[in-house]
Copies of this chain bind each other. A is one copy, B any other.
């Protein structure tokens, strides 16, 4: 019998059950073709159909306008932290960064490491990243502004995106891509590791405006050049074929639910159930300013670290998994990405009430 736990892992994270079942069904013999998707030439007709469909579905669901390219890369957001400045930051140029937590910091550390000029124009480090800064002065000469749309560790999320005028807006959307409706035309570039809302780890989605592709210099590694990898439609070398196949299935699943707007509605319902449970309790305490709360990662604290430890251990006995906060901040965190069903949120909230009753 198939067992399914309530998976609140921060990433790699829950995938839709129907997607996994389809993957399972076709694993050894894809659609009667006599081989697995894993065993297919990436240059063959079948895989070409898969990757093109994945790109088209992403364009359709996100409403990506003409003049943007969807590229599949490898190395996660962590490699993008370097490839963004390698490609988009010329010799006498500089970039602006906003620091909203651990991943922003890593992006900033990487631009620094490469010896590229940059300014951190806003930060929420003063309050341990429990809010999204709303006031900052953009330098009109900046080559781009880099932001992190959602902060998995601290549980904050940009509620609306800044209007940057002619300054290209570059956004790491790893942990909230396709969780809510976004106006892609506001962005010069969006990138996201797949392993939260889109598929397995090992694929990075890059959405880039065509004029930005032209900025890639000639003397950087080929595999780091947006211009080359984009120009070759993600097929300069063998792409991570199986991951791209699963992304296609996840996008089909999203479409069957009604698209991003419908998914956003579900996500808002899910998050409301959990935040309400926290707010209506004197036992649990949210750590994030209300107007910066994430729809995807919900961190909260209990009255003591001992109780938090006990909470994590007892949750597991109820098949509630992955709720331990990030090791750098402690506490509890429930990651409720697109594929985490409402029933899992309900199970968590029921457990929280029971735990409060017996330990409060």
Contacts and interface: CB of A to CB of B under 8 A. Distances in A.
Interface string A77-96: 11101110010000000000
A303 to B, nearest CB: 26
Contact of A78 (B9, B33, B222, B321): B222
A165 interface: no
A268 to B, nearest CB: 23
Given A2-B29, A74-B74, 14 more contacts: A3-B33, A4-B28, A9-B39, A9-B40, A12-B238, A20-B28, A21-B28, A74-B202, A78-B237, A79-B221, A79-B224, A113-B220, A200-B240, A202-B241
Contacts of A29: 2-4
Contacts of A78: 222-223, 236-237
A290 interface: no
Nearest to A38: B200
B28 A82 contact: no
Interface string A221-262: 111100000000000111111110010000000000000000
- 3 shortest A-B CB distances, which residue pairs? A202-B240, A82-B221, A5-B34
* Max count, chain B CB within 10 A of own CB: residue among A11, A13, A14, A223: A223
A12 B42 contact: yes
Interface in A194-231: 195, 199-203, 218-224
A35 B224 contact: no
Given A3-B29, A74-B202, A237-B78, A36 B15 contact: yes
A81 to B, nearest CB: 8
A35 B219 contact: no
A79 B321 CA distance: 36
A152 to B, nearest CB: 11
A74 B76 CA distance: 9
B201 A35 contact: no
B39 A222 contact: no
Interface string A105-119: 000001001110000
Given A39-B14, A41-B12, A222-B110, A76 B2 contact: no
A7 B39 contact: yes
Interface in A301-347: 319, 321-322
